[in-house]
A and B are shown apart, each in its own frame.
Chain A
Amino acid sequence: MTTFDDPFDARYRLTPGCSCGRHGSEAEHAAASAVSGDAQTSRVVESAVMRALFPEDATRRAFLTAVGAGTAIAAVNALFPLATATDVFAQGLKPEKTDLKVGFIPITCATPIIMAAPMGFYEKQGLKVEVVKTAGWAVIRDKAINKEYDAAHMLSPMPLAISMGVGSNPIPWSAPAIENINGQAITLAMKHKDKRDPKSWAGMKFAVPFDYSMHNYLLRYYLAEAGLDPDKDVQIRAVPPPEMVANLRADNIDGFLAPDPVNQRAVYDGVGFIHLLSKEMWDGHPCCVFSASRQFVTEMPGTYQALLKAIIEATAYAQKAEHRKEIAAAIAPTNYLNQPVTVVEQVLTGTFADGLGGVKKDADRIAFDPFPWESFAVWILTQMKRWGQIKGDVDYQKVAKEVFLATDATKLMAEAGLTPPQATTKTFSVMGKPFDPSKPEEYVASFAIKRG
Chain B
Amino acid sequence: MRGSLSLRAGLLSVLIFAAFIGAWQFATMPTTGAAGDVDPEYAALVSGAAAQGAKSAFPTPADVGATIWGHLKDPFYVRGANDQGVGVQLAYSLGRVLLGYLLAAAVATPLGFLIGMSPLVYRALDPFIQVLKPISPLAWMPLALYTIKDSGISAIFVIFICSLWPMLINTAFGVASVRKEWLNVAATLEVGALRKAFLVILPAAAPTIMTGMRISIGIAWLVIVAAEMLVGGTGIGYFVWNEWNNLSIGNIITAILLIGLVGMALDVALGRAARLVAYRE
Contact = CB atoms under 8 A, between A and B. Distances in A.
A143 B230 CA distance: 12
A269 B247 contact: yes
Contact of B45 (A132, A246, A249, A342): A342
Interface residues of B, number: 38
Contact of A270 (B53, B79, B83, B232): B53
A135 B241 contact: yes
Contacts of B247: 245-246, 249, 265, 269
Given A242-B245, A246-B247, A346 B45 contact: yes
A310 B104 CA distance: 45
A86 interface: no
Contacts of A267: 46, 50
Interface in A158-208: 190
B259 interface: no
A325 to B, nearest CB: 14
B244 interface: yes
Interface string B137-172: 000001001100111000000000000000000000
A268 B56 CA distance: 8
Interface string A117-159: 0000000000000111111101100110111100000000000
Interface in A322-355: 333-336, 338-340, 342, 346, 352-353, 355
A270 B50 contact: yes
A335 B45 contact: no
B229 interface: yes
B39 A143 contact: no
Contact of A335 (B38, B82, B142): B82
Interface string B25-51: 000000000000011011011110110
Contacts of A37: none
B151 A270 contact: no
B81 A131 contact: yes
B150 A135 contact: no
Contact of A353 (B42, B151, B232, B241): B42
A358 interface: yes
A257 to B, nearest CB: 19
Interface in B218-262: 229-233, 238, 241-247
A246 B47 contact: no
Contact of B232 (A134, A190, A271, A346): A134
Nearest to A270: B50
B82 A336 contact: yes
Contacts of B82: 131-133, 334-336
A352 B242 CA distance: 24
B73 interface: no
Given A132-B82, A267-B46, A270-B50, A139 B41 contact: no
A148 B151 contact: yes
A246 B58 CA distance: 13
A354 to B, nearest CB: 9
A246 to B, nearest CB: 6
A209 B245 CA distance: 14
B192 interface: no
A246 B243 CA distance: 11
A334 B83 contact: yes
A106 B245 contact: yes
B53 A333 contact: no
Nearest to A146: B149
B258 to A, nearest CB: 17
Contacts of A79: none
A359 interface: yes
B54 A270 contact: yes
Contacts of B272: none
B47 A270 contact: yes
Contact of A146 (B81, B150, B232, B245): B150
Nearest to B37: A357
A243 interface: yes
Given A142-B146, A246-B244, A334-B82, A271 B42 contact: no
Interface in B84-126: none
B127 interface: no
B231 A135 contact: yes
Contacts of A357: 38-39, 42
A242 B244 contact: yes
A273 to B, nearest CB: 10
Nearest to A271: B55
Contacts of A132: 81-82, 232-233
B228 to A, nearest CB: 9
Contacts of B83: 333-335
A346 B145 CA distance: 37
Given A133-B82, A242-B244, A359 B230 contact: no
Nearest to A107: B245
B134 interface: no
Contacts of B233: 132-134
B3 interface: no
B46 A270 contact: yes
A342 B47 CA distance: 10
Contacts of B149: 145-147
When A and B form their complex, which 4 residue pairs have the shortest distance between CB atoms, in order from nearest?
A270-B50, A242-B245, A335-B83, A335-B80
30 contacts: A106-B245, A131-B81, A131-B82, A132-B81, A133-B232, A135-B229, A139-B231, A139-B232, A142-B145, A146-B145, A146-B150, A147-B149, A148-B151, A242-B241, A268-B46, A269-B46, A269-B55, A270-B54, A334-B83, A335-B81, A335-B83, A336-B82, A338-B245, A339-B245, A340-B47, A342-B45, A353-B46, A359-B39, A359-B41, A359-B45
Interface of B: 38-39, 41-42, 44-47, 49-50, 53-56, 79-83, 142, 145-146, 149-151, 229-233, 238, 241-247
Given A139-B231, A333-B79, 16 more contacts: A132-B82, A133-B82, A135-B241, A142-B151, A267-B46, A268-B45, A268-B46, A269-B46, A269-B50, A270-B55, A271-B55, A335-B83, A338-B243, A342-B44, A353-B46, A357-B39
